[in-house]
Amino acid sequence: MAHALGALASVSPSVAADASLRKTGFKINNNLSYNNKLWIPLSPVNLKSRFSSTKYRCKVVSMSVQQTVRSKIPVQPLELENAKEPPLNLYKPKEPYTATIVSVERLVGPNAPGETCHIVIDHGSNVPYWEGQSYGVIPPGENPKKPGSPQNVRLYSIASTRYGDSFDGKTTSLCVRRAVYYDAETGKEDPSKNGVCSNFLCDSKPGDKILLTGPSGKIMLLPEEDPNATHIMIATGTGVAPFRGYLRRMFMEAVPTYKFGGLAWLFLGVANSDSLLYDDEFTGYLKDYPDNFRYDKALSREQKNKSGGKMYVQDKIEEYSDEIFKLLDGGAHIYFCGLKGMMPGIQETLKRVAEERGESWDTKLSQLKKNKQWHVEVY
Ligand code: FAD
């Protein structure tokens, strides 16, 4: 494949002129060649609106006729690449790290129910992490249950690679859904009961300070011993966060010590097409790495399953169950991330499929767990 490894990505004049790109700290050269196509989604700014603008659409057309495979972004390997274990709990609730918000952008379109934001945080290389870990955030204010004490820590899955969206190891990105409370009787929003931390994050502005703990978590780390392994990722909503990190590591960054040659298969469940998260990045991988990436979406309010009901991720899993079971038998890793409520339906589907195949799901599940193929992080 035509990856221009080791070369700085060249950008078109209008993209280079985009202040948001410079804001990320991403290095650009002044060569206006179109040979190395820039990964536009690296900018944390205007992730959704940028792709729908006429200007952007024109740009894609003019560049894609020149080259079909985008260059990977070269990164200067961090020391983290040589570590045997991930960093863990470098900052604790009593002594959190004070980081700075770089940008907050709405990720979803106007017809999405609710709001999800992409938040880039500058930690100045002081809170390093591996893909699949989480940060803790301590929102400002007093803990209502313990007057005089700070708010409790809320965890957020990290949505970037260890290099961050700035590709220099100094930033972290989070994918946060604003928790809004609707009164069950009136159906009206009650702002006094809205989620504290998610609203603080989605309302924050560049330059605001934010208290971080962590990083934490080992269950969702991306196993890298075998660069040709299969990774089946099942996400609902913001559960896509760790998978965005995995996929950028696999397909966007040129990391000298990690060259992915396996299969990554993402199942993403959201309400409708306006609710899709990072769809442009994923669609880009699909075009450039068709042998290494698969991407299936379940849009519950737009698509119907085979029984005429709403299309959920478990319906997509069922559709591809033969392949999924074969891949698991061959040692594939399977990951689940998102709301807790996703798991019962998925487990039922997997159990039913196993039984139809004459297998015991309980035995299979304990085998998958024993082999460290089964990774679940739901909240
Ligand atoms: P809180 O203030 O903690 O409130 C919680 C809920 O209670 C809200 O829905 C709120 O509206 C409701 N509520 C408040 N007051 C009342 C009341 N009086 N009566 C009834 N209901 C009330 N979230 C993400 O968006 N993205 C992620 O990537 C992510 N990753 C996570 C990873 C892990 C490992 C875990 C454990 C959780 C993760 N979460 C993630 C969830 C996140 O930690 C928070 O739980 C979430 O953002 C809500 O926190 P909050 O402070 O906004 O809401």
Q: What is the CATH number of the domain that holds 157?
A: 2.40.30.10
pLDDT at position 50, please? 36
Q: Which of 199, 216, 233 is the last residue of a domain?
A: 216
Query: ∠ CA 124-125-131 to the nearest 5 degrees?
Result: 125
H or E, element range at 285: helix 279-288
**Per-residue pLDDT at 58:** 35
**Residue 7: is its pLDDT beyond 50?**
no
Can you tell me which residue has the tokens 């010590």?
257
Residue 30: both structure tokens together: 């002044």
Examine residue 113 and state whether it is found in any structural domain, yes or no.
yes
- The answer on 198 and 296 residing in a single domain is no
pLDDT of 2 higher than 50: no
For 98-147, the pLDDT digits (tens) are 999 999 999 999 999 999 999 999 999 999 999 999 999 999 999 999 99
Q: Tell me phi and psi for residue 287, to 5 degrees.
A: -70, -40
Q: Is the domain of 155 the same as that of 234? A: no
Nearest CA to ligand 1 atom 19: 193
Question: 377 in ligand 1 pocket by Cβ < 6 Å?
Answer: yes
d(C-alpha 107, C-alpha 17), whole Å: 22
- Please classify residue 117 by burial: count the beta carbons closer than 10 Å to its beta carbon, then call 0-12 exposed, 13-18 middle and 19+ buried: buried
Backbone angles phi, psi at 268, to 5 degrees: -120, 125
How large is the average pLDDT for residues 309-330? 96
**For the chain, how many structural domains are there in total?**
2
Are 212 and 286 members of one domain? Answer: no
Residue 353 belongs to some domain of the structure? yes
Per-residue confidence band for 22, with pLDDT thresholds at 50, 70 and 90: very low
What percentage of the chain carries pLDDT values higher than 70? 82
Is the pLDDT score of 12 beyond 60? Answer: no
- Measure 155 CA to ligand 1 centroid, in angstroms: 9
pLDDT digits (tens, 9 = 90+) for 64-104: 445 567 899 999 999 999 999 999 999 999 999 999 999 99
Same domain, yes or no, for 138 and 179?
A: yes
Q: Which residues are catalytic?
A: 156-157, 337, 377, 379
| Cross-strand bridge partners of residue 176 | 117
Q: With cut-offs at 50, 70 and 90, classify the pLDDT of residue 40.
A: very low
For a substitution probing ligand 1, which of 155, 176, 204 has the most ligand atoms within 8 Å of its CB?
A: 155
Per-residue H/E/C for 9-78: CCCCHHHHCCHHHHHCCCCCCCCCCCCCCCCHHHCCCCCCHHHHCHHHHHHHHHHHCCCCCCCCEECCCC
- Average pLDDT (320-339) is 97
Reported residue count of the chain is 379
Compute how many other C-beta atoms are within 10 angstroms of the C-beta atom of residue 371.
11
For 159, phi then psi, to 5°, come to -105, 10
Q: Quick one: average pLDDT of 232-236?
A: 98
Same domain, residue pair 232 and 355 = yes
Does residue 47 have a pLDDT over 50?
no
Rounded to an integer, the average pLDDT of 253-260 is: 95
* pLDDT(222) > 90: yes
- Say how far apart CA 72 and CA 74 lie, in whole Å: 6
Supply 352's token pair. 């039913």
Q: For residues 201 and 46, what is the distance between their CA atoms, to the nearest angstrom?
A: 16
Q: Quick check: helix, strand or coil at residue 89? A: coil
Asked if the peptide bond before residue 93 counts as cis, ω within 30 degrees of 0, the response is no
81 and 184 within one domain = yes
Which of 162, 196, 216 is the last residue before a domain boundary? 216
Task: Determine if ligand 1 sits within 6 Å of the CB of residue 379.
Answer: yes
Cβ contact 112:275 at 8 Å? yes
Which of 82, 75, 63 has its CA nearest to residue 5?
A: 75
**Does one domain contain both 212 and 265?**
no
Write the DSSP assignment of 166-232 as a string of letters.
TTSSSEEEEEEE----B-TTT--B-GGGS-HHHHHHHH--TT-EEEEEEEE-STT----S-TT-EEE
Q: Does residue 65 lie within any of the structural domains?
A: no
- 184 with 233, same domain: the answer is no
Residue 14 in domain: no
Counting atoms of ligand 1 from 1, which one is nearest the CA of 197?
Answer: 51
Binding site membership of 241 for ligand 1 (Cβ less than 6 Å)? yes
CA distances from 19 to 22, 44, 46, 188, 361 (A): 5, 12, 12, 39, 53
In the reported structure, the alpha carbon of residue 144 is separated from the centroid of ligand 1 by a whole-number distance in angstroms of 15
Residue 54, pLDDT score: 35
Tell me, what's the pLDDT at 69? 75
Largest CA distance in the chain: 62
Evaluate: CB of 175 within 6 angstroms of ligand 1.
Answer: yes
6 domain residue, yes or no:
no
pLDDT exceeds 80 at position 271: yes
Backbone angles phi, psi at 362, to 5 degrees: -60, -45
CATH number at residue 237: 3.40.50.80
In the structure, what pLDDT confidence band is assigned to residue 20 with cuts at 50, 70 and 90?
very low
Give CA–CA dist 89/344, Å, rounded: 31
Domain that holds residue 162: 71-216
Are 237 and 348 contained in the same domain? yes
Distance CA 74, CA 6 (A): 6
Q: Are residues 193 and 240 in the same domain?
A: no
Does residue 294 lie in a domain region? yes
Domain assignment of residue 356, yes or no: yes
Q: Are residues 205 and 130 in the same domain?
A: yes
Question: Across the chain, what does the average pLDDT equal?
Answer: 86
Which of 216, 236, 252 is the last residue before a domain boundary? Answer: 216
Q: Are residues 239 and 365 in the same domain?
A: yes
As annotated, the binding site includes 157, 177, 238, 300-301, 310, 338-339, 377
Our CA angle for 272, 277, 278, nearest 5°, is 140
pLDDT at 338 over 60: yes
Burial code (b: 16+ CB inside 10 Å, e: under 16) for 75-108 equals: beebeeeeeeebbeebbebeebbebbbbbbbbbb
pLDDT at 3 (0 to 100)? 39
Q: What is the pTM of this model?
A: 0.86
Higher pLDDT, 150 or 48: 150
**Is 255 part of a structural domain of the chain?**
yes
Summarize pLDDT for 148-157 with one digit per residue, the tens.
Answer: 999 999 999 9
